[in-house]
């Protein structure tokens, strides 16, 4: 997992995208299952990311989650960690709501 995150955090010029690495939380994951193609088509909220609402199969809702254009779900607003996995997701809806990235949970 860590090797994949670091590999995908190197931009096309070969430089490390430190901002991307710093935004990652424990439990962050890259979409690889049924949601992989869906997240590729989401419209951007800003340069390189989309803010979405994630609803889980158990009906929990996370109003602000960050998906990078590299296909990583890397943050949930107000939480230190990502408390679910891709297989738990029932729905992803772009909201484009913004928050201060420096905000600590």
Q: What tens digit of pLDDT does each residue of 43-94 get?
A: 999 888 999 999 999 999 999 999 988 899 999 999 989 999 999 999 999 9
Taking every pair of Cα atoms in the chain, the longest distance, rounded to a whole number of angstroms, is 42
Q: What DSSP designation does 10 have?
A: B
Has residue 4 got a pLDDT over 60?
no
- pTM above the 0.85 mark? no
Percent of the chain with pLDDT over 90: 56
What is the predicted pLDDT for the residue at 101? 64
Distance of alpha carbon 54 from alpha carbon 29, whole angstroms: 14
Has residue 23 got a pLDDT over 80?
no
């Amino acid at each position: 997992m860590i090797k994949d995150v670091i590999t995908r955090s190197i931009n096309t010029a070969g430089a490390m995208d430190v901002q991307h690495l710093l935004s990652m939380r424990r439990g962050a994951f890259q979409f690889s299952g049924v949601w992989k193609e869906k997240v590729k088509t989401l419209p951007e909220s800003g340069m390189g990311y989309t803010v979405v609402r994630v609803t889980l199969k158990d009906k929990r809702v996370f109003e602000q989650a960050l998906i990078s254009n590299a296909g990583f779900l890397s943050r949930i607003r107000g939480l230190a960690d990502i408390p679910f996995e891709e297989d738990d997701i029932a729905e992803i809806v772009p909201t484009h709501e913004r928050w201060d990235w420096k905000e600590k949970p």
